[in-house]
Structure 1
Amino acid sequence: MVHLCRIRLRKYGNFVDNLRLYVRGGAGGMGLPRIGGHGGNGGDVWVVATKSMTLKKVKEKYPQKRFVADVGGNSSVRSLKGQRGNDTEILVPVGVTVTTDDDRILGDLNAEGDRVLVAKGGHGGSFSSSFLPSKGQSKLIRLDLKLIADMGLVGFPNAGKSSLLTALSNATPQIASYPFTTLKPQIGKLVYEDHNQISVADLPGLIEGAHMNKGMGHKFLKHVERTKQLLFVVDVCGFQLASQTPFRSAFEAVQLLTKELELYKEELVSKPALLVVNKMDLPEANHKLEQLKEQLLNPEEFCHTLPNDMTPKSHLAFRHVVPISATTGLGVDRLKAFIRESLEEEASEATEMFRQQRLQLLRQHSQ
């Protein structure tokens, strides 16, 4: 078995995960009347992904939040075609979705170098054809960062997600906090002995009603969209968020987490998922674990303890159910192996599906 040797953690500082900007393409240039010149087109405004940028840097560098491309050049005696205006590029981090103010998606930036055109420059004027120069497009856009990770830790507060990330690294993570109230999301890189890397996102804890934007709500759930797989983390003995809220067993926690994902965006529950049952060092943990396993095998039989509106439409079939103790290290090495195995299995399935699709297309073309 290949063991994880360490985990590298990315520091985000005071995190900014959304910005609203004004963008405007450059106006077109004038055509010279006497000799039929044509003005140059205005420059465009692009949003471009780069790994060296954060939205916090964009906010600090451009406090006015205005990005305007250059105007097109006028034609002249020496140049009948006016020079095109220079483009303006807004450098943003990988993982940004660009939308208009009315939530229309302009594009996703999932890799370094990805580009989205957000404001096109105006056309240059032509006197001979009575074509006047036009203004560039102008609009308000939103940059919404959704963290990209291989695995996303999903759990209610105090399930032990941060402790789990610490246990995976055998070290204390040094992570600057996001300003998501008092919670501290983290992204770590699990680095294997053969140098393979897996990114794991420890996201803010959900509460019941998160799909309605209660608690961290959408600030949490939007980041789940950009993870390949989900790593559910539950306390084997259950939890109670506050004295006025009901106690939830480990099984109920799994169902409530599933429902929150389902209500926010139903396709989230189609992601491959593993279940980590934490705090196995507690008294009666083994008995509670056996109860949970039985309940997961027959979820419909045990869902009657939940309100009807909090029962998920479908029940997750976890690839692995892994009991651990983040405190003592019990089961952590086994979990590390399962995480890699699950991701490699998914990659293999995707490759085989692509191969079958290509074969089918080739057969269709040869007929």
Structure 2
Amino acid sequence: MVWGSRPLLRQYGNFMDNLRIYVKGGPGGMGHPRLGGEGGRGGDVWLVAKEKTTLKRIKDRFPQKRFVAGAGANSSIRALKGEKGTDCIVDVPLGISVISSDGKQIGELNKAGDLLLVAHGGLGGCSVTNFLPLKGQIQTVNLDLKLIADVGLVGFPNAGKSSLLSKISHAKPQIADYPFTTVKPELGKIMYPDYKQVSVADLPGLIEGAHANKGMGHKFLKHVERTKQLLFVVDISGFRLSSKTRFRTAFETVLLLTQELDLYNEQLRTKPALLAINKMDLPNAQGDLNELMKQLQNPQDSLHLVEKEMIPQSTIKFKDIIPISTHTEEGIEKLKNSIRKSLDEEAEKENENYQKEKLHILQTSEF
């Protein structure tokens, strides 16, 4: 099959990571001035995080992308206090940032059941409002999805990230021998013998200049922000995007990936990271690996060999470096064990920090 722009665009169209919606709180009900009755308050519009929900599903089900809550009931002789209007509940995926039309973040919904109020209902008619009802809040908000995963795969196109995901998990991403096979994020889960599950996100390949939104730029990088750890995947033989771009060695690839993450958000540099050196089944791979390991152990000794603009402010210290081959499956089990060990260590650190903070609060409390 020949892949042109149309199939790729259609495939990416099945995945949405941003959706703009209109939300409107319900108007309040009329008050009853003669009897002092109060109208019911208008309903509110709430977002609730729910598993197995996607932004595309919301768009398909509600093509107008309008969500309006019910009006409050009028005050009457039978019911001086009008009932509140019906709330409008909108199911959204986990990992949503809600942004107002002026670019301010309203809130986030990261775990199932998280709730966020996005449009207040109007006050019912009462003595304060001269018994006239008030309109509900109206606004347009952006739902910005950032995938939540334990591990995010980071690498240039054709480094073998999709192949790796298929080997370590039950995911079935699109795989082929050309750049940009992955045009949308893919999620997989590593299943361990003790039933522990680790989620892994294969994200569209970076290119030089991604931090400045070149290529898929920010569409890729924003998803890296919510992963707990990073797994760099590098081709031991180096990388070249096309005949018009320069060839980059494996060492230069590591530097460039680090730089792209750092320039987009320097906080990404602080995430725990592993390095998988792929395609060890290729000729001369072992010799290339020996050279790369020397360069990674003493990067300062090799930085004079690369262009100045390629050098990141600081290099990443990988928790583990694992040579692998997705073709022969060399090193795959070791990599899975390394991922698990790294995550367990970080979870233990977080727990220790939490206990220390809790103890500090108890010791400094007046009670």
Structure 1 length as normaliser, TM-score?
A: 0.91
Measure, in 1, the Cα distance between the counterparts of 2:222 and 2:27: 36
Is 1:278 the equivalent of 2:258?
no
Q: Secondary structure at the match of 2:365?
A: helix
Unaligned runs of 5+ in 2: 1-11
Note if contact 2:96-2:110 (Cα within 8 Å) is conserved in structure 1: yes
Q: Which residue of 1 aligns with 2:172?
A: 174
Q: Cα gap change, 1:112/1:364 in structure 2, threshold over 3 Å: closer, same or farther?
A: same
Q: Which residue of 2 aligns with 1:205?
A: 205
Q: Which residue of 2 aligns with 1:231?
A: 231
Which 10-residue stretch deviates more, 66-75 or 160-169? 160-169
- Alignment map for 1:109-124 (pairs within 5 Å): 109-124=109-124
Is 1:92 the equivalent of 2:92?
yes
Q: Which residue of 1 aligns with 2:242?
A: 242
Q: Which residue of 1 aligns with 2:316?
A: 316
- How far residue 167 of structure 1 moved from its aligned partner, in angstroms, is 2.5
Q: Which residue of 2 aligns with 1:332?
A: 332
Number of aligned positions between the proteins: 353
Measure, in 2, the Cα distance between the counterparts of 1:123 and 1:197: 47
- How far residue 316 of structure 1 moved from its aligned partner, in angstroms, is 0.6
Measure, in 1, the Cα distance between the counterparts of 2:307 and 2:137: 50
Q: Cα gap change, 1:288/1:182 in structure 2, threshold over 3 Å: closer, same or farther?
A: closer
Q: Cα gap change, 1:295/1:339 in structure 2, threshold over 3 Å: closer, same or farther?
A: same
Q: Secondary structure at the match of 1:198?
A: strand
CA RMSD in angstroms comes to: 2.1
- How far residue 33 of structure 1 moved from its aligned partner, in angstroms, is 2.0
Q: Which residue of 1 aligns with 2:4?
A: none
Tell me the alpha carbon deviations over residues 259-286 of structure 1, each in whole angstroms, 9 at most, x when there is no partner. Answer: 1111111111110000000111112211
Note if contact 2:33-2:131 (Cα within 8 Å) is conserved in structure 1: no
Q: Runs ≥4 in structure 1, deviation > 4 angstroms?
A: none
- How far residue 163 of structure 1 moved from its aligned partner, in angstroms, is 1.4
Q: Cα gap change, 1:306/1:27 in structure 2, threshold over 3 Å: closer, same or farther?
A: farther
- How far residue 102 of structure 1 moved from its aligned partner, in angstroms, is 2.2
Note if contact 2:162-2:173 (Cα within 8 Å) is conserved in structure 1: no
Q: Secondary structure at the match of 2:234?
A: strand
Q: Which residue of 2 aligns with 1:217?
A: 217
Measure, in 2, the Cα distance between the counterparts of 1:326 and 1:182: 16
Q: Secondary structure at the match of 1:200?
A: strand
Note if contact 1:119-1:137 (Cα within 8 Å) is conserved in structure 2: yes
Note if contact 2:28-2:73 (Cα within 8 Å) is conserved in structure 1: yes
Measure, in 1, the Cα distance between the counterparts of 2:303 and 2:148: 33
Which 10-residue stretch deviates more, 13-22 or 68-77? 13-22
Q: Which amino acid aligns with 2:28?
A: G
Q: Which amino acid aligns with 1:174?
A: K
Q: Which amino acid aligns with 2:186?
A: Q
- How far residue 302 of structure 1 moved from its aligned partner, in angstroms, is 2.3
Measure, in 1, the Cα distance between the counterparts of 2:173 and 2:339: 22
Q: Which residue of 1 aligns with 2:7?
A: none
Q: Which amino acid aligns with 1:162?
A: S
Q: Secondary structure at the match of 1:143?
A: strand
Unaligned runs of 5+ in 1: 1-11
Tell me the alpha carbon deviations over residues 31-66 of structure 1, each in whole angstroms, 9 at most, x when there is no partner. Answer: 112111111111111111111311111000100011
**Overall identity of the aligned pairs, in %:** 57
Is 1:350 the equivalent of 2:327?
no
Tell me the alpha carbon deviations over residues 117-174 of structure 1, each in whole angstroms, 9 at most, x when there is no partner. Answer: 11111111114762532111111101111111111100000111111122224x7x53
Q: Which residue of 2 aligns with 1:9?
A: none
Measure, in 1, the Cα distance between the counterparts of 2:181 and 2:250: 26
- How far residue 311 of structure 1 moved from its aligned partner, in angstroms, is 2.0
Q: Which amino acid aligns with 1:48?
A: V
Measure, in 2, the Cα distance between the counterparts of 1:174 and 1:181: 13
- How far residue 240 of structure 1 moved from its aligned partner, in angstroms, is 0.7
Tell me the alpha carbon deviations over residues 217-256 of structure 1, each in whole angstroms, 9 at most, x when there is no partner. Answer: 1111111111100000001111111111111111111111
Q: Which residue of 1 aligns with 2:5?
A: none
Q: Secondary structure at the match of 1:277?
A: strand
Q: Secondary structure at the match of 2:151?
A: strand
Is 1:268 the equivalent of 2:268?
yes
Q: Which residue of 2 aligns with 1:104?
A: 104
- How far residue 28 of structure 1 moved from its aligned partner, in angstroms, is 1.3
Note if contact 1:38-1:82 (Cα within 8 Å) is conserved in structure 2: yes
Q: Which residue of 1 aligns with 2:49?
A: 49
Is 1:160 the equivalent of 2:160?
yes
